[in-house]
Amino acid sequence: MGGFRKFLFRGNLIDLAIAVVIGTAFTKVITATVSDLITPVIGAFGKEPNFETLFFTVNSSKFAYGDFLNNLLAFVIITATIYFVIVLPVVKMTTRLSKPRDPATPMRECPECLSSIPAAASRCMYCTAASAPAQPN
């Protein structure tokens, strides 16, 4: 039972649960915005104020494509919002904060994870294993 408790209270599991709840609430808000505000504005120009009622029939089979249009529009808005509000700023911040590696800096392998680290480093930046800096020749 203790292992299960540790699993439940791990930080990344709780963070994931919070992200799912917030994502679900955000999706509902965007879906309501699309169906209640954006679709009627688009429909005002196309003489159809409610996309949910749009359909066509083929051999007495009804294809309701209006709801699909609402959901497609909500998907595009959600993905664009995530890209421009989260992904793009994080990419800009990480490129601004990351220093380009000087090609003249001598490198060596970490004895633990075999990643390439600067020769003068006393700790690996990837696995944080302590290692003695390489002695200059």
Mean pLDDT of 109-124: 87
- The letter for the amino acid at 98 is S
- CATH architecture label of 2-98: Orthogonal Bundle (1.10)
Round to whole Å and give the CA distance between 28 and 20. Answer: 12
pLDDT for the residue numbered 120: 85
CA distance 123 to 60: 71
The per-residue pLDDT for range 20-46, each reduced to its tens digit, is: 999 899 888 888 888 888 878 877 787
Q: Model confidence at 11, in pLDDT bands (50, 70, 90)?
A: low
Q: Which pLDDT score is estimated for 136?
A: 61
24 vs 132, higher pLDDT: 24
Beta strands in the chain (DSSP E): 56-58, 61-63, 107-109, 116-118
Identify the three-state secondary structure at position 27: helix
pLDDT of residue 54: 83
Domains of the chain by residue range:
2-98, 101-137
**Digit-coded pLDDT (tens) for 78-102:** 888 889 988 899 889 888 877 776 7
Question: 88-103 b/e with 16+ CB inside 10 Å = b?
Answer: eeeeeeeeeeeeeeee
Is residue 64 predicted with pLDDT exceeding 60? Answer: yes
Tens-digit pLDDT profile for residues 65-77 = 888 888 888 888 8
3-state secondary structure of 123: strand
Q: What is the value of pTM for the model shown?
A: 0.53
CB 134 within 8 A of CB 119: yes
